[in-house]
Structure 1
């Protein structure tokens, strides 16, 4: 039994005449009669009474037609759902991110993606850069946003693009002596109690103080930029973090540039090179649209990812 047999039976029930039903289907009458007879043999029941006044469904036919309508409706929905999935309009996307990415650019990217792809379920998890990379390589994430390029075994299987640059700034309470300054120097920071993220303390801030490990070894560790700012507001020390911390809207803290300026590793978005998911393709297209300085770099990077290039072209 095929879908066309269901359509033939429904057309015959609607028109109650083989000739009219055949014309509505765009076929000749003899093939329609043959197909209906074959359908009845397959089911083992007479579906239509052929009378001089027309063709009417039997009781068995009425029961069959009710199921046929439902089946064709489900087949139509299945086709629609398949098309939506192929376009990345449904499914799930798992994203791990470092906290500072929530200041910029993730709010704009995720907001736009939710508006344009409401059928996609987002699973979001805050992770430090190393943990995010490990989860991505283990297949537990689809996208990881962290500080700097992924490292370690398996990193060569990932594609990575910068989505934001940053330099180091200090954040202090309004009561701190640094609060009225536009900038502070590294030797001044080395004499302060510092507040940093574990990610920063263990990796990319190590070169800032050169051979002197004491400032970071004795630092207070805070989970994310909001905690760093909050602890600084409590006079717990001087917080160090990315310039995008200035987006935190608090009246009890002040920011100072660090001199000499120290560029932090870029915020980087990574995904598996072998991932051909339409949902990932749709997400990367939104990243391209929402992050004006990412587009050309993403184009170059995705030369090995044709499904994403095609999705971006449709956008």
Structure 2
């Protein structure tokens, strides 16, 4: 019995309709009918009862389905595992993330990825601002989800934008800005803006420019290495820092207030990896992330 014949029989057992079976398998209705008749001749008994209104498995047909379906599923999984191994999609994929809430996003994408590639396990690791791309360069992770555009860096590759959010300004609850409904980039000249430790100047300036639109200097405050360090400094009144909108949910603190920046540059997250370390695994994870976002949108803004 050919595997295609088994596939036609099992699909008809599900659809109970010759036309829908043919459409689903991209074959002609005649092909479905001929296959079933050939199987019935081989078995020596009808597998389906056919009338003008319905198609119903006979007891023999139902028993044959029960016997064949586990075997067919085992074959399908075996082929999938072989393909995954051949394409380098088995083993472990190590994915880092920057930001409190991004761990949840990476885990959800990992679930989508694992459904497609069950032989590949995803390990996640929190990365800090101060790490930059150091974990990638040290081969401690294979990919990094971060709010950075590294398209101009030859050594790195990146996915299309996965998540996009307008920024809010994290300020001390005692800061004058905390009483405002919103601020503008121009207002940053009236305070000190914290600086992420270990971030290249060009990436840092993409988040916080050196000057306001009118040319006023934006003074930089203390630097920080982690999200918690940043929030501690903000809460203590040492400076302010632009953060994504979802921070008001995931990083709520009584000493920190989040104020929308109405004209701020949107924060954009991408999956980043080393060009020299590109694998089928990391490309497949990037595809899974894009597909997940296409269906769910930005899950960090839900609720």
The alignment's TM-score, normalised by the length of structure 1, stands at 0.52
Report the alpha carbon displacement of residue 143 of structure 1 after superposing the two structures with TM: 2.1
1:1-315 matches, cutoff 5 A: 82=82, 85-86=85-86, 90-99=90-99, 102=102, 105-110=105-110, 112-113=112-113, 117=118, 120-122=121-123, 124=125, 126=127, 128=129, 131-132=132-133, 136=136, 141-146=141-146, 147-155=148-156, 158-198=157-197, 199=199, 202-204=204-206, 205-207=208-210, 209=212, 211-216=215-220, 219-252=221-254, 253-259=256-262, 261-264=263-266, 266-271=268-273, 277-292=279-294
CA distance in 2: counterparts of 1:285 and 1:188, whole angstroms: 39
Tell me which moved more, 98-107 or 78-87. 78-87
Residue matched to 1:9: none
SS in 1 for 2:123: strand
Q: What residue in structure 1 maps to residue 69 of structure 2?
A: none
Contact 1:232 1:239 in 2 (8 A): yes
Distance 1:282 1:223, change over 3 A: same
Give 3-state SS (helix, strand or coil) of 1:263's partner.
Answer: coil
Distance 1:189 1:273 in 2: 36
Structure 1 residues 256 and 227, CA gap change in structure 2 (3 angstroms): same
Comparing 84-93 with 283-292, greater Cα deviation is found at: 84-93
* Cα distance change of structure 1 residues 182 and 278 upon mapping to structure 2, 3 Å threshold: same
Alpha-carbon distance change, 203 to 90 in structure 1, aligned in 2, over 3 angstroms = same
Change (3 A) 1:127 1:151: farther
Distance 1:90 1:110 in 2: 14
Give the whole-Å Cα distance in 2 for the aligned partners of 1:135 and 1:151.
19
Q: CA offset at residue 163 of structure 1?
A: 1.0
| 8 Å contact from structure 1 (residues 159, 271) kept in 2 | yes
Q: 1:127 Cα deviation (Å)?
A: 5.1
Distance 1:251 1:127 in 2: 20
Checking the alignment, whether the CA contact within 8 Å between 2:144 and 2:273 is kept in structure 1 is: yes
Q: Check the 8 A contact 1:89/1:119 in 2, yes or no.
A: yes
Point out where structure 1 has 5 or more consecutive residues left out of the alignment.
1-77, 296-315
CA contact (8 A) 1:195 1:239 kept: yes
Q: Structure 1 residues 193, 137: CA separation in 2 closer, same or farther (over 3 Å shift)?
A: closer
Q: Distance in 1 between matches of 2:266 and 2:200?
A: 10
Q: Which runs of 5+ in 2 are unaligned?
A: 1-77, 298-303
TM-score (ref. length: structure 2): 0.54
- Asked which structure has the greater CA Rg, the reply is 1
Relative to structure 1, the CA distance from residue 110 to residue 207 in structure 2 (aligned partners, 3 Å threshold; closer, same or farther) is farther
Deviates more, 1:250-259 or 1:271-280: 271-280
* Distance 1:292-1:172 versus aligned 2 partners, 3 A rule: same
CA RMSD between the two structures: 4.1
> Who is 1:41 aligned against?
none
Instruction: Kindly state the Cα deviation for residue 183 of structure 1 after the two structures are TM-superposed.
Output: 0.7
Would the aligned equivalents of 2:143 and 2:273 in 1 still touch at CA under 8 Å? yes
Give the total of aligned pairs. Answer: 212
CA distance in 1, matches of 2:292, 2:252: 26
Q: Distance in 1 between matches of 2:273 and 2:89?
A: 19
How far off its partner does 1:124 sit?
2.7
